[in-house]
Chains A and B, each alone.
Chain A
Amino acid sequence: QKEVEQDPGPLSVPEGAIVSLNCTYSNSAFQYFMWYRQYSRKGPELLMYTYSSGNKEDGRFTAQVDKSSKYISLFIRDSQPSDSATYLCAMTPSGGYNKLIFGAGTRLAVHP
């Protein structure tokens, strides 16, 4: 079993839809939870991160962490065609210099 599970999709939604992206994990030591966006042939770009449990909002994006269920989510409101990309969840046990454990990534396509 992988440490981080993420549905690879693809996910196709109309412009303006609310998108929900999810990951589950097995390692209870994870403390930092990150969402990266990766456009084709580019490196991952950090969208937002959450420390421990709770919610965090940044514009059209909301990240949620439920440590009791080992489940994290990223919501995108009013989705735009420019949001079409692969979304990667990533986790690490603590601060400092620890490796990131990534999910497989979910491909999202937002069509006009």
Chain B
Amino acid sequence: DAGVTQSPTHLIKTRGQHVTLRCSPISGHKSVSWYQQVLGQGPQFIFQYYEKEERGRGNFPDRFSARQFPNYSSELNVNALLLGDSALYLCASSLGAPGYTFGSGTRLTVV
């Protein structure tokens, strides 16, 4: 059974650009969460979706947005990219705590 898949694996963007990251959860998992992991730090919670509804939002600016589709896949969008947005973006799917399974992440570099 496939795990959590994220795409792309790496990308480089210029300051001010927009980026869309994608996540496909484990089959049967209806909850998807997004985390940002800056080098040398633990993951920081960005968003959580369940059944296409936002269930939680972390302390991130409005430049960050997300949505979940009817097939439970999800997108994370970041507008007006800043150098500080460079990080590993992780998606996790779940049937409920504590069973969060993470994908390998998308490594975003903003130059």
Taking Cβ atoms with an 8 Å cutoff, the residues of A that contact B are 4, 6, 8, 32, 34, 36, 41-46, 49, 51, 88, 90, 92, 94-105
Q: Does B64 contact A (CB under 8 A)?
A: no
Asked if A95 contacts B97 (CB within 8 A), the reply is: yes
Given A34-B98, A97-B50: A42 and B42 interface contact (C-beta under 8 Å): no
Cβ–Cβ contact B42 & A105, under 8 A: yes
Interface 0/1 of B87-111, CB less than 8 Å to A: 0001010101111111111010000
B31 within 8 A of A: yes
Cβ of B18 under 8 Å from chain A:
no
Residues from chain A with Cβ under 8 Å of B92 in the complex: 100
Q: What number of residue pairs across chains A and B have CB atoms under 8 A from each other?
A: 72
**Given A32-B98, A92-B98, A99-B48, 10 additional A-B pairs, CB 8 A:** A8-B40, A43-B90, A43-B104, A45-B102, A88-B42, A95-B98, A97-B31, A100-B35, A100-B43, A105-B40
CA distance A49 to B102 in the complex (A): 15
Contact with A along B23-57 (1 / 0, CB 8 A): 00000000101010000111111001010000110
Interface size on B, residues (CB 8 A): 29
B8 an interface residue at 8 Å Cβ cutoff?
no
Which residues from chain A contact B103 at a C-beta distance below 8 Å? Answer: 43
Q: How far is the CA of A41 from the CA of B39 in the complex (A)?
A: 10
Distance between Cα atoms of A47 and B101 in the complex (Å): 11
Q: Which chain B residues border A100 with CB–CB below 8 Å?
A: 33, 35, 43, 45, 92, 100
Pair B105/A97 contact, Cβ less than 8 Å: no
> Chain A residues with Cβ under 8 A from B48's Cβ?
97, 99
A42 to B106 CA separation, bound complex (whole angstroms): 10
Check if A46 sits within 8 Å of B97, measured CB to CB. Answer: no
Closest A residue by C-beta to B105? A43
Q: Kindly state the separation between the CA atoms of A6 and B96 in the bound complex, as whole angstroms.
A: 25
User: Does chain A have a CB within 8 A of B58?
Assistant: yes
**Given contacts A43-B90, A46-B101, is CB(A99)–CB(B43) below 8 Å?**
no
Say how far A104's CB is from chain B's closest CB, in angstroms: 5
Shortest Cβ gap from B45 to chain A (Å) = 4
